[in-house]
Amino acid sequence: MVQSFNFTFKALKNTKGFIVSMIIMPIFMILLVSITLAYSKVPTVAYIGEKAPNVTNIKMMKIEEKEKDYFLGISQGTLVIKTNSEGEVEKYYSSIENNPLIPLIENADKNTKAFTERPNINYSIGTMLFKLLTAAGLLATVLIQEKGNGIILRVKNSKTKLSTYILGKSLAIMFVYEIATLAILMFYKFANYDFGKSNVVDLGIIFTIALLISTGIYIFVAGLIKNEGLIWGISSGIIFPLGICSGILFPIEYMPEWMKAIAHISPLYYLQISVINGKIEVLPICFMLMASFLLTMVGIKQLAKQE
């Protein structure tokens, strides 16, 4: 197992473009999406003047008076206010009737401290979990290629147990993704993300569980198919739609009920709910880990049948 781990890790590290495509770019993508989605919960109000009023849970954006129509016209916001030197509102400019933001500003406590916005982890966690749940697609690709060129057969005929060989490869690929995950967790921490009811340790556990589930799924897939090109179809045609229903693209609490019903058969749903609630969904996750283990055993048996 140790030799399989070392050899696989060295092979991955020496593969041209691997570090960039499998570690650096996914980190960059996830952080970019994370930053973009993390602020989607907070409405933005533009103000014209020297000082913005202190209003809880509203982001204030300073603009020039000539930019007022542009701000309201591009749907970046629905309200512009004009303030005096004390931050008191002198005039409202709204692009909609009965703007619900106006009462919030009118009833704001003037002694409230200025609102400091923090990105919320709940609005970006789905993207991260989807990436991790499909991470072992790389492992499946390697196993299918080795099945095709006879390496699996040679391993089976040697003194090395096939299960040990595959476990070593799995750990090597998981190790690579754990490095990427650690980098993202560090970013979340030092960028002062709002973890809600969770913390960095909770996220680390959930991310590792996602990798374990992914490993079982894709070892099973590798045992069934002969064309590694089908892996992309499985990831995008099955796991991605389940991810959409589980909150990968927008917060799950805003989804219609029929999407939530579909989400209940997806591992992404329970992993994401665990992060949002700050409490690991023990029974569903234990069931998923057991299912992942069984899929791993079945996948290894299928690989062992190859002649």
User: Nearest to residue 267, comparing CAs of 244, 242, 230, 304?
Assistant: 242
State how beta strands 59-62 and 89-94 pair. Answer: unpaired
Q: Indicate the pLDDT class of residue 10, thresholds 50, 70 and 90.
A: low
| Percentage of residues of the chain with pLDDT beyond 90 | 9
pLDDT at 185: 82
Question: Band of the pLDDT at 214, cuts 50, 70, 90?
Answer: very high
Residue 112, classified by CB atoms within 10 Å of its CB into exposed (0-12), middle (13-18) or buried (19+), is exposed
Domain ranges of the chain: 2-39+120-304, 44-106
Token readout for 107 is 């009833």
Q: Which residue has the higher pLDDT, 76 or 201?
A: 201
Sheet of 44-48, strand order: 59-62, 44-48, 79-83, 89-94
Q: 163 versus 288: which is more confidently predicted? A: 288
Name the E strands within 154-195.
none
Per mean pLDDT, which range of 8-22, 134-148, 157-171, 261-275 is the poorest?
Answer: 8-22
The larger pLDDT score, comparing residue 158 to residue 274, is at 274
Angstrom distance (rounded) from CA 8 to CA 169: 6
Which is more confident, 285 or 13? 285
- Quote the DSSP letter at residue 47: E
Taking the C-alpha atoms of residue 11 and residue 55, their distance in angstroms, rounded to an integer, is: 55
**CA 149 to CA 172: how far, in whole Å?**
21
Q: Which single residue is written with the structure tokens 């090597």?
A: 172
List, in sequence order, every residue forming a beta bridge with 91; answer none if it has no partner: 82
Tell me the three-class secondary structure of 53-107, residue by residue. CCCCCCEEEECCHHHHHHHHHCCCCCEEEEECCCCCEEEEEECCCCCCHHHHHHC
pLDDT at residue 102, as a whole number = 84
pTM: 0.70
Residue 82 phi/psi, 5-degree rounding, is: -110, 125
| Confidence band of 292 (pLDDT split at 50, 70, 90) | very high
For residue 42, pLDDT over 80 is answered with: no
| pLDDT band, residue 298 (cuts 50/70/90) | very high
| pLDDT at 195 (0 to 100) | 72
Residue 133's alpha-carbon distances to 17, 64, 145, 185, in angstroms, are 22, 46, 21, 17
216 or 22, higher pLDDT: 216
pLDDT of 90 reads 85
Tokens 């665990």 — which residue? 274
Beta strands in the chain (DSSP E): 44-48, 59-62, 79-83, 89-94
Q: Report, as an integer, the average pLDDT of 131-155.
A: 84
Q: Is 227 exposed, middle or buried (0-12, 13-18, 19+ CB in 10 A)?
A: exposed
- Residue 215 confidence class, pLDDT cut points 50, 70, 90: very high
β-sheet bridge partners, residue 120: 194
CA gap 270, 242 in Å, rounded: 12
pLDDT at residue 175 is higher than 60:
yes
Mean pLDDT value across the chain: 78
- State pLDDT tens for residues 241-287: 888 887 766 666 667 788 888 888 888 888 888 887 888 888 999 99
Whether the predicted pLDDT of 307 surpasses 70: no
Least confident of 8-17, 165-174, 247-256, 265-274: 8-17
